Amino acid sequence: MTPRKIIIDTDPGQDDAVAILLALASPEDLDVLGITCVAGNVPLTLTARNARIICELADKPGVPVYAGCDRPLGRALVTAEHVHGKTGLDGPELPEPKMPLQDQHAVDFIVETLRREDAGTVTLCPLGPLTNIATAFQRAPDIVERVQEIVLMGGAYFEVGNITPAAEFNIYVDPEAADIVLKSGASIVVMPLDVTHKALVTAPRNAAFRALGTPVGIAVAQMTEFFERFDKEKYGSAGAPLHDPCVTAYLLAPELFSGRRVNVEVETHSELTMGMTVADWWGVTDRPANALFIGDLDADGFFALLTDRLGRL
């Protein structure tokens, strides 16, 4: 089978890093056409740096990495150093990247790639605020129907918010962008906190990463150890939630996940609930379904897949 073509749009972030590593470890399944960076967890210069550090850690310096939007569509950037550390990738000691950043803007790359490749053959994998994707859709509306699928990490419903009482970080940072994407008509799969908070790196799972004994396994163990303190303190959870790797794991093994096709809309006006994703889980409105909203996963299957694949790098 030919590998599925994907563009990873990201703001690394330790969990973004693991998502990227899982994709790069799976070339028989996923063809990473490019990694497009956006401002989110940390400012753009750092996310563009971190994405290249991860490609080099995976020994894949040929993967093109692009810098995109350095701020949300219409508001000031909110970052999350309190979760991910000053660099966004705190934890392991990793060398500064040698591979170049591409000259082309990430949004131009997304537009050009979707126009060049056969319609319906490129999947977008947003792991951060949706600014790059929304900008591409606004600038080139013709590309929307050429997208095979968008599998994104963002939002929350039953699990409510992690950056405000109502909103999840990726959506909160750029709610207008999320609104554009969710209303675009593209086929969308959403990985909200409802599922990602079930993908917890418990102590034995962390030990399994470390036991790989490879630079990748050890770095992943150190990264997840670094950012677990935030969730442990906040939620009393057993370890770091691997939000973004749910996206790449879904592409590799969708049978590990379950959810419902529902209507999902984003609050863009109320200051109180700004960025909240309102999912009509119980079907109480006539609003048409626009996304597969994931609610559960087979966590043991997920970690078995992840650890096995990381061991290939």
Site for ligand BDR in 128-157 (CB under 6 A): 128, 153
Q: What is the 3-state secondary structure (H, E, C) of the chain?
A: CCCEEEEEEECCCHHHHHHHHHHHCCCCCEEEEEEEECCCCCCHHHHHHHHHHHHHHCCCCCCCEEECCCCCCCCCCCCCHHHHCCCCCCCCCCCCCCCCCCCCCHHHHHHHHHHHCCCCCEEEEECCCCHHHHHHHHHCHHHHHHEEEEEEECCCCCCCCCCCCCCCHHHHHCHHHHHHHHCCCCCEEEECHHHHCCCEECHHHHHHHHHCCCHHHHHHHHHHHHHHHHHHHHHCCCCEECCCHHHHHHHHCHHHEEEEEECEEECCCCCCCCCCEEECCCCCCCCCCCEEEEEEECHHHHHHHHHHHHCCC
Q: What gap in Å lies between CA 288 and CA 285, rounded to an integer?
A: 8
Q: How far apart are the first and last CA of the chain?
A: 21
Which of 6, 7, 8, 16 forms a contact with Ca ion (CB under 5 A)? Answer: 16
83 binds ligand BDR (CB under 6 A): yes
Q: Which stretch binds Ca ion (CB under 5 A): 60-68, 204-212, 222-230, 241-249?
A: 241-249
13 binds Ca ion (CB under 5 A): yes
Is the previous residue joined to 283 through a cis bond, with omega within 30 degrees of 0?
no
Least distance (Å) between residue 178 CB and ligand BDR: 12
269 flagged as catalytic: no
Size of the site for ligand BDR (CB under 6 A): 15
Q: Which does 109 bind (CB under 5 to 8 A by kind): Ca ion, ligand BDR, none?
A: none
Q: Which stretch binds Ca ion (CB under 5 A): 87-95, 125-133, 218-226, 276-284?
A: 125-133
Report whether 194 contacts 170 (CB < 8 A). Answer: no
169 binds ligand BDR (CB under 6 A): yes
Q: Which does 83 bind (CB under 5 to 8 A by kind): Ca ion, ligand BDR, none?
A: ligand BDR
Q: Which does 80 bind (CB under 5 to 8 A by kind): Ca ion, ligand BDR, none?
A: ligand BDR
Q: What gap in Å lies between CA 105 and CA 252, rounded to an integer?
A: 28
189 binds ligand BDR (CB under 6 A): no
Which of 6, 9, 16, 151 forms a contact with ligand BDR (CB under 6 A)? Answer: 16
Which of 18, 127, 223, 291 forms a contact with Ca ion (CB under 5 A)? Answer: 127
231 binds ligand BDR (CB under 6 A): no
Among candidate residues 82, 84, 243, 269, the one labeled active-site is 243
Which of 143, 201 has the CB closer to ligand BDR? Answer: 201
Which of 246, 297 has the CB closer to Ca ion? Answer: 246
Least distance (Å) between residue 14 CB and ligand BDR: 8
80 binds ligand BDR (CB under 6 A): yes
Q: So which residues are the catalytic ones?
A: 243
Q: Give residues in contact with Ca ion (CB under 5 A).
A: 11, 13, 16, 127-128, 244
Write out the residues near ligand BDR by the rule CB under 6 A.
13, 15-16, 41, 80, 83, 127-128, 153, 162, 168-170, 243-244
